[in-house]
Amino acid sequence: MDTWRVCLAVFRKDLIAEWRTKEVITTIFLFGFPVSVAFSFAFESPLAGGEARTFAGGLLWLAFFFAAILGLTRSFARETANQCLQGLRLIPADRGGIYLGKLLSNLLFMMVAELVLVPIFGVFFDVTLWARPGWFLLILVLGTWGVATLGTLLSAVSANTRMQELMLPLLLLPLTVPVLIAAIECTAVLLNNRPMAEARHWLQLLTGFDIIFTLLCWLLFDYVIQE
Amino acid sequence: MTPPANPTSPRILLRQVSKFFDRFTALDRLDLAFEPGEFVVVLGRNGAGKTTLLRLLALLQQPSEGELLYDDCAADRLDSAFRRRLGFVGHESFLYDELTVEENLLFYARLYGEPPKRVAEVLQEMALEDRARSLVRNLSRGLKQRLALARAWLHRPALLLLDEPATGLDAPTRERLHAWLAGCHRQGRTVILSSHDLRESLQPATRVLLLEDGRLAFDGPNSPELPRQMQARLQGAPA
């Protein structure tokens, strides 16, 4: 009960702060948009032979991933200003709720920015990402959740280091490789109009990864924000 | 708003407590006991260990050596509910610049399980009602400090730990703060604060501690002669 109360309080606070500053969503979008455009020009060149559909899924997730890193870096920067994280450490409740609240807000901000980027990406790569919207949304949620779950914890870890901007991608990239591979494979099946049954194992991997790492990060968070 | 009487202040015991930061010794084998309901002022020059002591007591740091006990229970074994009994104001405000005064207090009230109406009470108590809709980033240093005190007071803690709480406050607000702290003390709360301002901070204190280079240099009851003695000690002259 305490955990959810804390989670919702942190989520609500982040929504208000983001509504005022728009720094996380803007950061993700402002990075994701030019990267999508650059990828489209690079891979729609005659050298690519117009086979953008083959690797569009990979490029889409790479753009999302690097944009998300920038947004995630800002996520805990908010908590280190005025040492707010210290204030959160004083609360008489499960501190794991703080992690869940930050995870929810990061997931929401990343999803909003991605949903704006997807149509732009579709236009530039001439691919229809919404042909099977239910499946696409499922892949998007599972992939983003995977990046957000570890990204939120590692953002808290790196917030206390001197090289915050460098530390987060260094820690996050190797750990989220399974998520990226699975999300890319699922998206490729979708974009090439193959039956989604072919992506079943990748979807299972994504779901398992998300559940296991959400629980693990929730349990580890109290330790991570210790002195 | 009158705080409830008989708050359960814990008995605090430090046994040979040391705190190291790399090679720097912030606290050196401190032996101290704080009884429920004491009003203690911790004095010391910059770097004497006042902030470290208060952060240890607030459970924000752990001793490098020695034992810190609350009601005979080791600090690292206390459950999260115990933190409800602590209220801490540090050098930083723990406030979100992009939120308003009211939103900051509502946020902390939710974290502490306090009803939203408690925010209105605290705003009134700290004379911040007219700034409720102001963004924290637009507040003066003094108003931020008052808001930090309001945040620490939301859940009516039994033990108030205040690290130089009068910083940035003007003279009338400082007087009001000390009167308010004296009121808290009368209701049985333990107040432990650090200060540079001898004359004002010592007024309501029942006990005075002086730290020098992380060691306890003085521990005794407050008395009318004490400000003069302490002034001499703080300036390095013999008492």
**Which chain B residue has its CA at the smallest distance from A19's CA?**
B98
The residues facing B86 across adjacent strands are: B159
Give mean pLDDT, residues B157-162. Answer: 96
Task: Out of A21, A86, A92, name the one closest to residue B98 (CB).
Answer: A21
Helix (H) or strand (E) holding B216: strand B215-221
Judge whether B7 lies within some domain: no
pLDDT at B47 over 60: yes
Specify the pLDDT at position B128.
94
Report pLDDT for B174.
Answer: 85
Query: Across-strand partners of B30?
Result: B17
> Which residue of chain B has the CA closest to A13?
B107
Q: How far is B155 from chain A (nearest CA, A)?
A: 10
Judge whether B95 lies within some domain. yes
Chain B hits for A6, CB-CB cut-off 8 Å, are 110-111
User: What domain range includes position A28?
Assistant: 2-224
Task: List the 142-201 stretch of A: residues with Cβ below 8 A of B.
Answer: none
Torsion of CA A160, A162, A165, A171, to 10 degrees: -70
Closest CB to B60 among A86, A94, A95: A86
Q: Does A86 touch chain B (CB under 8 A)?
A: yes
What is the number of other CB atoms lying within 10 angstroms of the CB of residue A66?
15
pLDDT of the residue at B199: 67
Placement of tokens 């002022």 in the chain: B41
Model confidence band, residue B230 (pLDDT cutoffs 50, 70, 90): confident
Residue A202 to residue A206: CA distance in whole angstroms: 6
Instruction: Please give the average per-residue pLDDT across B189-214, as a whole number.
Output: 85
Provide the number of structural domains found in chain B: 1
For A78-131, the DSSP string reads HHHGGGHHHHHHT-SS-THHHHHHHHHHHHHHHHHHHHHHHHHHHHHHT--TTS
B95 touches chain A (CB under 8 A): yes
Q: Is B133 contained in some domain?
A: yes
- Asked if A13 and B96 come within 8 Å (Cβ–Cβ), the reply is yes
Torsion angle of the four alpha carbons A33, A38, A41, A42, in this order, in degrees rounded to the nearest 10: -140
CA distance B193 to B175: 15
- Residue closest to A140 by CA, chosen among A57, A211, A22, A19: A57
First-residue to last-residue Cα distance in chain B: 42
Instruction: Give domain status of residue B5, yes or no.
Output: no
Q: Which of A90, A160, A221, A225 to mutate to test the interface with B (most CBs of B within 10 A)?
A: A90
Confidence of residue B6 (pLDDT cuts 50, 70, 90): very low
Q: In this complex, do A5 and B81 lie within 8 Å of one another by their Cβ atoms?
A: no
Q: Residue B40 falls within a domain, yes or no? A: yes
Residues in chain B with CB shorter than 8 Å from the CB of A21 are 98
Q: pLDDT class for A129, splitting at 50, 70, 90?
A: confident
Q: How many other C-beta atoms are found inside a 10 Å radius of the C-beta of residue A114?
A: 23
Report the distance separating Cα B149 and Cα B169, nearest Å. 12
Q: How many helices (H) and strands (E) does chain A have?
A: 9, 0
Q: Of B215, B214, B220, B218, whose CA–CA distance to B233 is shortest?
A: B218
Asked whether the predicted pLDDT for residue B171 surpasses 90, the reply is no
Q: What is the pLDDT of residues B139-156, one digit of tens each?
A: 998 899 999 999 999 999
With an 8 Å Cβ cutoff, is A1 touching chain B?
no
Query: Domain for residue B239, yes or no?
Result: no
CB–CB of B16/B65 below 8 Å? yes
Q: Are A87 and B98 an interchain contact pair (Cβ–Cβ within 8 Å)?
A: no
Q: How far is CA B48 from CA A122, A134, B44, B153, B211, in A?
A: 62, 62, 5, 27, 6
Total domains, chain A: 1
Q: Report the percentage of chain A scoring pLDDT > 70.
A: 95
b/e map of B177-203 (b: 16 or more CB within 10 Å)? bbebbeebbeebbbbbbbbeebeebbb
Cβ neighbours for A147, distance < 8 A, ≥ 6 positions apart:
A64, A65, A68, A110, A172, A176, A179, A180
* Token couple for B132: 């409720």
CATH assignment of the domain containing B157: 3.40.50.300
Using a CB–CB cutoff of 8 Å, tell me whether A88 touches chain B: yes
d(CA B10, CA A98): 27
pLDDT tens for each residue of A44-92? 655 455 566 677 888 889 989 988 898 898 888 889 888 999 999 999 9
A27-31, A119-123, A127-131, B138-142: range with lowest mean pLDDT: A127-131
Strand partners, B89: B162
> Which chain B residues in 178-237 lie under 8 Å from chain A, judged by CB atoms?
none
A84 to chain B, any CB pair closer than 8 A? The answer is yes
> Is residue B3 situated within a structural domain?
no
The residue of B52, B96, B114 whose CB has the most chain A CBs within 10 angstroms, and thus the best one to mutate to test that interface, is: B96
Question: What domain range includes position B89?
Answer: 12-234
Give chain A positions within 8 Å (CB) of B81.
Answer: 92
CA-nearest residue of chain B to A17? B98
Residues 6+ apart with CB under 8 A from A216: none
